[in-house]
Amino acid sequence: MPRGLVAGGAALALTAAVGAPDTLLLFTGGTSVPVGSTFGVGLAVAGTAFASICAVGAIVAPTTIRLWNYYVRGEEIKKP
């Protein structure tokens, strides 16, 4: 099982345990609202990092695979 999936599932479970409102306020920029605990802030930061890493991976992976196949394996790039 991919590590990112495990980390994301754990972050989701912890968000449910701590309480979603404080975490969601951090995601949406409601920084003027006090957060319930230090653990909630750490969880929000971990969730933001997880989402960012997943987004970058989803964007970069197809391009990396295509360029790898072209330059390393010597496959031609065909138009669909």
Distance CA 36, CA 4 (A): 26
Q: How confident is the model at residue 57 (pLDDT cuts 50, 70, 90)?
A: confident
Q: How many CB atoms lie within 10 A of CB 12?
A: 14
- Residues 22 and 36 sit within 8 Å (Cβ to Cβ): yes
pTM value is: 0.43
Please write the tens of the pLDDT for every residue from 29-46: 555 445 566 766 676 677
